[in-house]
Structure 1
Amino acid sequence: MRIALVAEQFLPHVNGVTHSVIRVLEYLRDRGHEAMVIAPSYEKTMFLGSVDQVDGVRIERIPSLPLAGYPEVRVASCTVNRMQRILNRFAPDVVHVASPFILGWQAIQAASGLGLPCVAVYQTDVPGYAARYGAGVLEKGMWSHVRAMHNTATLTLAPSTASISQLHEHGVRRVRMWRRGVDTERFRPERRDHAWRERVGGGRRIVGYVGRLAPEKQVADLVVLDSLPDTRVVVIGSGPEKDALRALLPNAHFEGFLSGTELATAMASLDVFVHPGEHETFCQTIQEAMACAVPVVAVGRGGPLDLVDSSRNGWLYRPGDTESLRERVRDLVGDDAKRLAFARTAHRTVQPRTWSAVCDQLMEHYERAVRVNARLTRPHRTDVGTR
């Protein structure tokens, strides 16, 4: 198949959307499919129509501007006509739109106008983020936009039961489940590094967070852990709240942004992984921690509900109940036998969730989108009003 992937964010900026697109590209290449990526420009790709490549895959860059207050995130836009010209040149069988909002919406409209099957991957709770950034008044309008985008697409893929329910509640139709894979070769317990643990923990139990340091991640909630006895909080990541969090968590260790083997080593060297963000549609870092045999304490909302089996591979706590967060973490750092039992179960839980298996399912969704698109675009179809 020929797949055009449209990404709101892409390399060199690394986040969950970028990571998923890269893994899909690797799978498509290894299986002999052809792909291209349409993505925002960055510092070295700022010129109109500039093109570069990643592992032989053509990247068409769209002019972009930095997001106010978060310059690492770029906002790209082009006309629907220009998007159609790009797609026509490549002639894809399917258009895959990763976490659409602006550029992705232009791609969905372009694909619809060309009669191309379009798979829209719901990956970011942008309306929920708006409230965290003090723009809650925009949430209703943003959901209207999300509904229009995804109902124009041929199929929507969502990563968790919670996100599927959320989309249905807001009137999005034709939604299917597509979870994320985990790299069990990179993320594995054998990477646990005692020298790293001594350097950052000094013999104490290490409770770690990995991710962006931004309001929607609610990292400030970890203040309740900063004074736990014989425990050190380790924060791995970067973002606009870095300086404020350093002041709020004076006893924590801030390791900065890590990737690749360095990230896997740090993850495997934790005793407990924590994630307090309430707007996760999936939460890939939870799977990566589990692959490293690290039990998880996460908020009981959104994607973590599917990943954390409370009292078996970790604990869930009620949204907003930071005292429960503290108690759940204290329970695990203070009980070696329980923590190790949870760790073994966590490791076993994620072993079948390889990217290969997950992308096999994605190919089935592509094929389903081709069939659904043929039905929706049939000249004398009987479901004219449903799209």
Structure 2
Amino acid sequence: MRIAVVAEQFLPHMNGVTHSVLRVVEHLRAHGHRVMVVAPSYEKGLFPGAEPGLPGVHVERIPSLPLAGYPEVRVAGCTVHRMQRVLSRFAPDVVHVASPFVLGWRAIQAAAALGLPSVAVYQTDVPGYAARYGAGVLETALWAHVRTMHNAATLTLAPSTASLRQLRGHDVQRVHLWRRGVDTVRFRPELRDHAWRERVGQGRRLVGYVGRLAPEKQVADLAVLDSLPGTRLVVVGSGPEKDALRTALPRTHFEGFRTGDELAAVMASLDVFVHPGEHETFCQTIQEAMASGVPVVAVGRGGPLDLVDSSRNGWLYPPGNTARLRELVQDLVGDDAKRRAFAATARRTVQGRTWQAVCDELLGHYERAMATSPRPTTLRTRRTRTAHLARKATLVKFW
């Protein structure tokens, strides 16, 4: 197949949307499919040492502007007509729209105008983020936009049962469940770095958070763990709240942004992983912690509800109850046998959740979208017919 992937965020900015797009594109390429990525442009030098692009994959860059207060996040705008031209040149069989909002909405509209099936992947709870950024009054309007976008797509994929219920509760139609994979080869317990643990923890248990340092992640809630006896809190990541968090968490070790094998080694070196964000549609870092053999304490809302099985591979605490968060972390760091049992179960929990498996499932969703999309003549058919007529005209002229 030929798949156009339209990503609201992409390299060099590394986040959950970028990560899943990379894994999907790698899988598609490895199985002989042709892929084009449409993504925002980024300023040179904004991400020094960022992960390189994907060889053999054309990336069509759309001019963008930085999000106010968060320059790493770009907002790309283009007309529907321009997006139609981009898609027409590639002639895809299906348009995969990752976390649509601005650029992705144009892609859904352009695909519909061209008679192309589109698969919209819901990944970011933008309406839920609004309150965290001081714009709660916009939540109703933002949900109206989300509903309009996703109902215009051929089908929508939700990453968790909580997201599935949330979308259906807001009258989004044709929603299917499509979870995320995890790289259990890269993330594994054997990467535990004892020298790093000693340097950072000096004999204490390490309790870690990995992710963006942004308001919607609620990292400030971890202040209840900053002085937990016998432990040291570790924060891995970067974002607009990094300076404020350094002030709010004075005893915490801030590791900075890590990716690839460096991130995998840090993850495996933790004793307990924590995640306080209440607006996670999935929470990929929880799966990576589990693959690394690290038990999890996460808020009992959104994506973590599908991932954390309380009293088996971690604990869930009630939203907003940071006192309970502290108690549950204390329970694990203070009981070596329980922590080891949870860690072993966590690793087993994610063994079958490979990107190979979930991307094979994604191909089935593509097939469903193509089968249900009313498109009597595909772009590829039109392009092939045009090329055939051009060759015929050339032969006639020659003779």
> Which TM-score applies when normalising by structure 2?
0.92
Corresponding residue for residue 189 of structure 1: 189
Match of 1:383 in 2: none
Map of 2:359 onto structure 1: 359
CA distance in 1 between counterparts of 2:6 and 2:53 reads 14
Residue ranges of structure 1 left out of the alignment (5+ in a row)? 47-51, 380-387
Q: State the alpha-carbon separation in 2 of the partners of residues 64 and 170 from structure 1.
A: 29
Q: CA deviation at 1:340?
A: 0.4
Give the distance between the partners of 1:233 and 1:53, measured in 2 at CA: 33
Aligned-pair identity in percent equals 78
Deviations 1:303-352 (A, max 9, x none): 00000000000000000000000000000000000000000000000010
In the alignment, which residue of structure 2 is the partner of 1:80?
Answer: 80
1:85-234 pair list within 5 angstroms: 85-234=85-234
Counterpart residue type for residue 168 of structure 1: R
Shift of 1:54: 2.3
1:218 counterpart letter in structure 2:
Q
Is the contact between residue 6 and residue 104 of structure 2 (CA under 8 Å) also seen in structure 1?
A: yes
Contact 2:296 2:313 in 1 (8 A): yes
Partner of residue 397, structure 2: none
Task: Output the CA distance in 1 between the equivalents of 2:190 and 2:132.
Answer: 37
Determine whether 1:269 maps to 2:249. Answer: no
Alpha-carbon distance between aligned partners in 2 of 1:217 and 1:57, rounded to the nearest angstrom: 32
Cα deviation 1:127-162 (Å, max 9, x = unaligned): 000110000000000000000000000000000000
Kept after mapping to 2: 8 A contact 1:2/1:34: yes
Distance 1:212 1:269, change over 3 A: same
Inter-partner Cα distance in structure 2 for 1:289 and 1:323: 23
The aligned residue for residue 15 of structure 2 is 15
Match of 1:258 in 2: 258
Measured after TM superposition, the shift of residue 372 of structure 1 is 1.4
Query: Residues 30 and 323 from structure 1, CA distance in 2 versus in 1: closer, same or farther, beyond 3 angstroms?
Result: same
Q: Partner letter of residue 343 of structure 2?
A: A
1:29 equivalent in structure 2: 29
TM-aligned CA distance change 1:222 to 1:33, over 3 Å? same
Q: Can you list the C-alpha shifts for 1:95-134, whole angstroms capped at 9, x where unaligned?
A: 0000000000000000001110000000000000011000
1:43 Cα offset (Å): 1.2
Question: 1:378 Cα deviation (Å)?
Answer: 7.4
User: 1:203 is paired with a residue of what secondary structure?
Assistant: coil
Match of 1:57 in 2: 57
The letter of the residue matching 2:9 is: Q
User: What amino acid is the match of 1:22?
Assistant: L
Deviation at 1:44, TM superposition (A): 3.5
Q: Distance in 2 between matches of 1:238 and 1:217?
A: 12
Q: Which residue of 1 aligns with 2:389?
A: none
* Matched residue SS, 1:26: helix
Counterpart-to-counterpart distance in 2, 1:11 and 1:44 = 12
Q: State which drifts further: 315-324 or 36-45.
A: 36-45
CA RMSD between the two structures: 1.4
**For residues 319 and 245 of structure 2, what CA distance do their matches in structure 1 show?**
20
Higher-Rg member (1/2)? 2
Change (3 A) 1:378 1:2: closer
Name the amino acid aligned to 2:70. Y
CA offsets 1:204-263 (integer angstroms, 9 cap, x no match): 000000000000000000000011101000000000100110111111000000001000
Q: Which residue of 2 aligns with 1:292?
A: 292
| Counterpart for residue 392 of structure 2 | none
Distance 1:199 1:94, change over 3 A: same
Shift of 1:39: 0.2
Give the conservation status (yes or no) of the 8 Å contact 2:11–2:53: no
Q: Which runs of 4 or more aligned residues in structure 1 lie more than 2 Å from their structure 2 counterparts after TM superposition?
A: none
Q: Match of 2:380?
A: none
Q: Is the 8 A contact 1:45 1:61 kept in 2?
A: no
Q: How does 1:364-379 map to 2 (within 5 A)?
A: 364-374=364-374
TM-score by length of 1: 0.95
Q: Which residue of structure 1 lines up, in the alignment, with residue 309 of structure 2?
A: 309
2:53 and 2:89 map into 1 onto residues whose CA distance is 17
- Structure 2 unaligned residues grouped into runs of 5+: 47-51, 378-399
Deviations along 1:177-212, one digit per CA (max 9) or x if unpaired, are 100000011000000010010111111000000000
Alignment partner of 2:227: what SS? coil
| Alpha-carbon distance in structure 1 between the residues aligned to 2:109 and 2:161 | 27
